[in-house]
Amino acid sequence: MQASTYGSVNGKLGFDVQNQKRVLGFGELRNRTRTGRRNLFIAERRTCCGGLSLRSAAQVTGAKIAGLTMGSDGISVATLKARSVQAQASDGDVENLIPSKPQGKSSGTVLPYVGVACLGAILFGYHLGVVNGALEYLSIDLGIAENAVLQGWVVSTLLAGATVGSLTGGSLADKFGRTKTFQLNAIPLAIGAFLCATAQSVQTMIVGRLLAGIGIGITSAIVPLYISEISPTEIRGTLGSINQLFICIGILVAMVAGLPSAANPLWWRTMFGIAVVPSVLLALGMVISPESPRWLFQQGKFSEAEKAIKTLFGKERVTEVMDDLRSATQGSVEPEAGWFDLFSSRYWKVVRVGVSLFFLQQMAGINAAVYYSTSVFRSAGITSDVAASALVGIANVLGTAIASSLMDKQGRKSLLLGSFGGMAASMLLLSLSFTWKALDPYSAPLSVTGTFLYVLSFALGAGPVPALLLPEIFASRIRAKAVSLSLGMHWISNFAIGLYFLSFVTKFGIGRVYFGFAGVCLLAVLYIAGNIVETKGRSLEEIERALSVVT
């Protein structure tokens, strides 16, 4: 799961070059600064909200560069020692500013620990999907079959809890560390699932759903955070996108778990009880999982950080990664950022990138499309709700699997652009299939095709990329809290769509609502093209230095 970022001049990105008052904004400007006998010539520098590029070659010999630090009026050049750096323009992205380091073969083992973290992603998807198959039967059992309001509370309480959880996950991760936060989070996940499975009243069910919601909210924040911080640079994109893949798998598992309900009306209790198992496994798995080396380094636990690096990346990478961590924090003695720091002029312009991305992700209509998919498939003769949900789930898993294989090859930004572009075209097809009379004979197959392509397009980028990209572009000092704030926008937007979607459909018609979603998707394409950086192939420390969020 972002307006212009990293310092502004009249609403545009700018650089405040050290010892100079001139500021470079969008467009092509020239600037020369003299430091002693050494000159730094940067010709026609073009910036795009954190995407940094050089249109002509820039060479620095025997000079001190980089360390770009955020000021109130833009990004200023701080200090990073380098003998010779050459940058040549290519695609307007951050990798053109800071040269990548060749990555040697790692002897570490990261996959098992990513797998443990992804138990949280499975729980995320499972708790989202489990109520769909269980609601009818639990409503009868708990005596609320005729009470739509209480049924709505059973469904929506999870989202309310998730909003609270997502906003607290970052603070917990900063205070206790990533692995201990996972262990603490297993408590509301397990208790919530147990209360739902054993509920004898709707009040107990709502409390259980609230606790489970808090758990998945915290999970939504710390799973991508932890995976990004323990993954080797060269496969960070692939591993990070696995988070979304396991969320989709969790939803599918919930759908499959609901199949015996028709034969056994009390099966819904087992459906909720199943979630206790991965919650316990998550807690146990994190006991043996290494802590994030970056968090350990920030806490001054250098020997423990080296041990974690050795486990994750191999002993041959310890020096390299520790040097990166020291370089990223060189000269910085600041404590962890507080919540109010996120809204300061120094950080807000990058933080709102994350907030905006998740806002656009939800307002593009994914939950509405999934919600309305059952009616769409029924119009095409697919009367089984389970079959309709399965088709949507298959499209989601297929797209996410493809995205995982492309993340470190095509890059994050290109996948986002292609994804939202495909979503816009699919929504337009859906809108026309409902409103254009000439297409009435073909409306059923066209609407099914449009829904399938929309979900597939979403899974190719808009679904997995935001949760992967944001931990990459946020500075270590604000990373956990900024991710939490962005995920909070995800849950708030999710709740708003669920609350008002049917009202808008009733007032304007499904065709016009879908046309509005298509417009949001096109807006997202324009926003991403102008405001999102490419981060593939760069370590978190390289990105942090380039995006000017360290002092």
The span from the CA of 354 to the CA of 356, in Å, is 5
Residue 379 CB contacts under 8 Å (≥ 6 apart), including other chains? 443, 444, 447
The letter for the amino acid at 218 is: I
The span from the CA of 512 to the CA of 365, in Å, is 13
Homologous superfamily (CATH) of 341-550 is MFS general substrate transporter like domains (1.20.1250.20)
Cα radius of gyration (the chain)? 24
The span from the CA of 480 to the CA of 433, in Å, is 43
Domain covering 108-289, topology: Growth Hormone; Chain: A; (1.20.1250)
**Domain locations in the chain?**
108-289, 341-550
Render each residue's pLDDT in the chain as its tens digit; 551 residues.
433 333 333 333 333 333 333 333 323 333 333 333 333 233 333 333 333 332 333 333 333 333 333 333 333 333 333 333 333 333 344 444 444 444 445 556 899 999 999 999 999 999 988 987 788 899 999 999 988 888 888 988 998 899 999 889 888 998 999 999 999 999 999 999 999 999 999 999 999 999 999 999 999 889 999 998 998 888 888 888 888 889 988 988 888 888 888 788 899 999 999 999 999 999 999 999 999 998 999 888 999 999 999 999 888 889 888 988 887 665 444 666 788 888 888 888 888 888 999 999 989 988 778 777 767 777 667 666 666 777 787 888 888 889 888 888 888 899 999 999 999 999 999 889 888 888 878 888 888 888 889 999 999 999 888 888 888 888 878 888 888 888 888 888 888 887 788 788 888 888 899 999 999 999 999 999 988 878 887 777 777 766 654 33
The span from the CA of 335 to the CA of 328, in Å, is 14
- Residue pair 379/510 in contact (Cβ under 8 Å)? The answer is no
Burial bucket for residue 30 (CB in 10 Å: 0-12, 13-18, 19+): exposed
108-289 matches 341-550 in fold: yes
